[in-house]
Structure 1
Amino acid sequence: MRRNMRGVSVLAIALPLISGLLVSPGQSEATGRHQPTNGFARSGPWNTKLPRHVPLVPNSAAIVANIKQDKDENYQVWAFNTHTWSSPIYTASWYTPRLRWTFSDCLGLPHLAPVIADTLSSVPTPPGMLVSQGTDNTVAIYQPSTDTYWDFWRAERDANGNWSACWGGKIEHYSRNPGIFTNPLGAAATGLPFGAFLIRIEELRRGRIDHALNIQTVRVRANCNSWPANRNDGNTEGVDFPCEGQRFRLDPAFDVNTLRSPAARTIARAMQEYGLIMSDKSGSLATQAEDPRPYMARNGGVNPYHLLTDPENEIPDDDSYTWLTLADVPVERLQALPLNYGQPR
């Protein structure tokens, strides 16, 4: 089953022709305002709250019906991807060793080597760093001292300790960036960084998520991307399928207190307040949270999601939370916003 819960699909590279919070929530010296927990600019698409009344695309119901059909026909779940088909997030210190990575060219596109060369040239690489489980092998790294962020796809360490990646990207001046890679960089097929949308363990602990989340589904509209995405790998023709980058939100009239899991209640509130952005296509309907394995390595191997998603210990102590956490969030109550909603003019 897991091999189909894909987090990042094969890259749609538009040819020119992280562990825990990426930043600690605290006040910006310049503004005195709290920095969003994803670290990106407050004014970017991820950190901008939706007004209660927003315009919906005229065929919103049809688009949402297709997303629900994807759920019903692919494992009957809205997957909460964490330990597989998501990404670890690492915060690198000033002293983290910097390594020169190599371009692995798993797609047979050697002409892209110069495009990613700067991204790979000097990467702060924590010793013992893990990449995601599954075939995507993704990882996100943020270095606060340089305010720089990297994410990688098909990252791999060889027997000699040398790292390589098939694709990825680097964002300098991270805290001023809206949460969008320069096209065609970035591990996801949309150019949207993991650091912008992954749910953090600490956010679930505090019961508050202050940024938009991601959503992935099986069928996405071919040749269509919506801001903030700057490219796509759409696979299905038709106007009633979601575009990558399109924004959704959970109906604000839905009572999140009816949800069983406290984590689901926290996640659903963020879906109402900040919405969800279609970040990629996948093998099932899914939303992603940070890979817990770096946290587990520091804390005796205890998976924090078990307690956060099921404090009453009502489900088996294994990966069942992946399938059950979002089980009672009503897909049919999603709403599709117009393409390019919120794009600066």
Structure 2
Amino acid sequence: MRLAAVAMIVVAGIGLAQPAAAAPDRHDRPKPANGFSARGPWNTKLPRNVPLAANSAAVVENIRLDKVNNYGSWAVNTDEYSTPIYTVGRSTPRQRWTFSDCLNKPELAPVIADSLAAVPTPANLTPSKGTDAAVTIYQPSTDTYWDFWRAEQAPDGHWSACWGGRIEHYSKNPGIFANPLGATATGLPMGAFTIRIEELRRGYIDHAVNIATVRTRANCHSWPATRDDGNTEGADIACEGQRFRLDPAFDIGTVRSPVARMIARAMQEYGAILTDKAGALVTYAEDPRPYMLATGQPDPYPALMDPDDIVPDGAEKYLILGDIPVERLQALPYDYGRPCA
């Protein structure tokens, strides 16, 4: 996201450690929930022994400082500064969206024109809360994916967006927009890394997740990112697109929240990719409002994140990752995993 902030309640929670549940064997798993190619960077497991960046400890220390100096917590963004994910049918009405040009860059209008030309737009479409106003749309019948930034509906029902993009042949795409498209500042699709409610219900996440942090290195992006909006000079500042992983020696059985254990395991097995700047250290999970509308059920996150009342009610998404020590992250070298030309 280009702008991000989280209003956080920082309260100490108490609870007993619970054993980590075993994830289902890979052979029993369906296609990754993000739907992108199994050979892409999101869905490829990391070997246990991978090279680390020479300055890994220094880079991770700067991320830890971002956490300490910005609300003191590592949050899970859901309905604000994340994205709702809409899976739409073949008959969903298509609409020609308008380029809103909120950045005053009219030269970009022809670049995004094809992505806006025929967007299947459900009647209940609702962007994320916050200034990003993001939305993600997937149409299985055409295997096509869209995400948009600063999406807005006019009083007459017409939709516009300031930026975003379309990916055709979604299931064969590695999870990278053609430069300079895509709602994130890195050109990495929100649908590739955003944690789904269905994943948390089934008990495992089978793809890399994301992190976004306050300071990212200026004029630096690492594969799979195609661009960046870094804001801070310094060789020891994390580079957008850089891959991290949670130390495989870290015992995730010490993590109390079942959702946090799933996220920790995914970061050990697949890693976490730095996808954007934010107002705090955050990881994205899907906006629950489409789920709530479709099922008539309340927000599922409180019960999923904190069934044992580890932290105070209402603070779950801000505190449950507190048992994952940021200092146990490890930075991989720039362009780790990039296919040879």
- For normalisation by structure 1, the TM-score amounts to 0.90
CA distance in 2, matches of 1:325, 1:293: 21
2:14 is the counterpart of 1:4: no
Partner of 1:36: 32
Partner of 2:99: 103
2:255 is the counterpart of 1:254: no
Partner of 2:337: 342
CA distance in 2, matches of 1:226, 1:168: 20
1:34 Cα deviation from its structure 2 partner = 4.1
Partner of 2:320: 325
Partner of 1:128: 124
Deviation string, structure 1 residues 253-307 (Cα, Å, up to 9, x no partner): 0011111100000110000000000000111001000001111112334111111
Aligned amino acid, residue 242 of structure 1: A
CA distance in 2, matches of 1:236, 1:268: 28
**Which ranges in structure 1 are unaligned for 5 or more consecutive residues?**
7-31
Find 2:53's aligned residue among 52, 57, 82: 57
Secondary structure of 1:325's counterpart equals: helix
- For normalisation by structure 2, the TM-score amounts to 0.91
1:33 Cα deviation from its structure 2 partner = 8.8
Partner of 1:27: none
RMSD in angstroms over aligned alpha carbons?
A: 1.6
Aligned amino acid, residue 142 of structure 2: T
Q: Does structure 1 conserve the Cα–Cα contact (< 8 Å) formed by 2:75 and 2:317?
A: yes
Aligned amino acid, residue 322 of structure 1: K
CA distance in 2, matches of 1:108, 1:208: 42
CA distance in 2, matches of 1:313, 1:259: 14
CA distance in 1, matches of 2:29, 2:292: 32
Find 2:181's aligned residue among 178, 181, 185: 185
Secondary structure of 1:152's counterpart equals: strand
1:317 Cα deviation from its structure 2 partner = 3.8
Aligned amino acid, residue 236 of structure 2: D
Q: Does structure 1 conserve the Cα–Cα contact (< 8 Å) formed by 2:92 and 2:120?
A: yes
Matches within 5 A, 1:208-287: 208-287=204-283
**Which ranges in structure 2 are unaligned for 5 or more consecutive residues?**
8-27
Q: State the aligned residue count.
A: 319
1:125 Cα deviation from its structure 2 partner = 0.5
Q: Percent identity?
A: 67
Aligned amino acid, residue 213 of structure 1: V
Secondary structure of 2:321's counterpart equals: coil
CA distance in 1, matches of 2:39, 2:94: 31
Partner of 2:81: 85
CA distance in 1, matches of 2:39, 2:312: 41
Deviation string, structure 1 residues 177-218 (Cα, Å, up to 9, x no partner): 000000000000000000100000010111111100001110
